[in-house]
Amino acid sequence: MAEARKAFEAKQATWQANIDSLTQEVQVAIQTYEKTAASGSENEKKMSREIIGTKQKQLYDYQNALKQNAAQEEQRINQNVLSTVNAYLLRYGKKHGYKLILIAANGNIAYADDDMDITDEVVEALNKEYAVPVK
């Protein structure tokens, strides 16, 4: 997980650098507008406002796309790590003859021998217990 987190953080640093660049472009456009506002023509002012609006939209769109991509990337990384750990625990449990492996943090079952699965029995018993009589 530490390696996956480090790779994700490197991607985040690149994304943040791109956001910083776009933010700087917006700031430069605003500074240019402020300079032309005092002495520029209406046409120059209008063009400066349009440039600012375009740059702000690019920044906004990029930030939103990054938020979505970052969430998806983090979910993908976490899922890959969990899949790897679960596959290992399955092999480990079978190799060492364990019937059950619990995860210490929350007590979830990380591995259980197939012989311990009583799901079908429980479902059948529940269905019998709570079956509604047909009228």
- The full 3-state SS of 76-122, as one line of letters, equals HHHHHHHHHHHHHHHHHHHHCCCCEEECCCCCCEEEECHHHCCHHHH
Query: What SS3 state is found at 15?
Result: helix
Return the closest-CA partner of residue 51 out of 70, 74, 65, 35. Answer: 35
DSSP 8-state symbol, 130:
T
Q: Which residue has the higher pLDDT, 83 or 131?
A: 83
Lowest mean pLDDT among 1-5, 10-14, 96-100: 1-5
Question: What average pLDDT does range 105-111 have in this prediction?
Answer: 76
Total count of residues recorded for the chain = 135
* Phi, then psi, of 104 in degrees rounded to 5: -65, -40
